[in-house]
Amino acid sequence: MSSRSDYPQTVNNQYTGQYEWDIRGPYGPQESPVHKVILKINGVAQSHGVARRVNIAKKVAAYLYLHNKCGAAYDPTMRTLCEESDELERFYYDRND
């Protein structure tokens, strides 16, 4: 997969009917909210992403699941988004949930 890959679509293709996105938030300032998205497969949380936009949080959660649990290739662009997700989670989300 390249950095242009649609990781949420890959999850959809592989787990149709077995996955869900648990969207939490928004947290933080109203003009720039933060959302946490948890990827659940068969009702079990598998990974999560935190971002200012829900679609980016989904992409992070999907990439982390596919990379860490399914062997998807390392993607440096996604790794940067994952690091940003970690920073946002530490700053905003840990205070609210």
C-beta of residue 35 within 8 angstroms of C-beta of residue 23: yes
Read off the pLDDT of residues 8-23 as tens digits, 9 standing for 90 and up: 999 999 999 999 999 9
What one-letter code names the amino acid at 17? G
- Yes or no: say if 39 and 65 are a contact pair by the CB < 8 Å rule: yes
Entry pTM: 0.88
Strands, sheet with 19-27, edge to edge from the N-terminal-most edge strand: 19-27, 34-41, 44-51
Count the alpha carbons within 13 Å of 4 in the hemisphere toward its beta carbon.
0
Q: Which domains does the chain have, with CATH numbers?
A: 7-95 (3.30.160.20)
pLDDT in tens, 46-58: 999 999 999 999 9
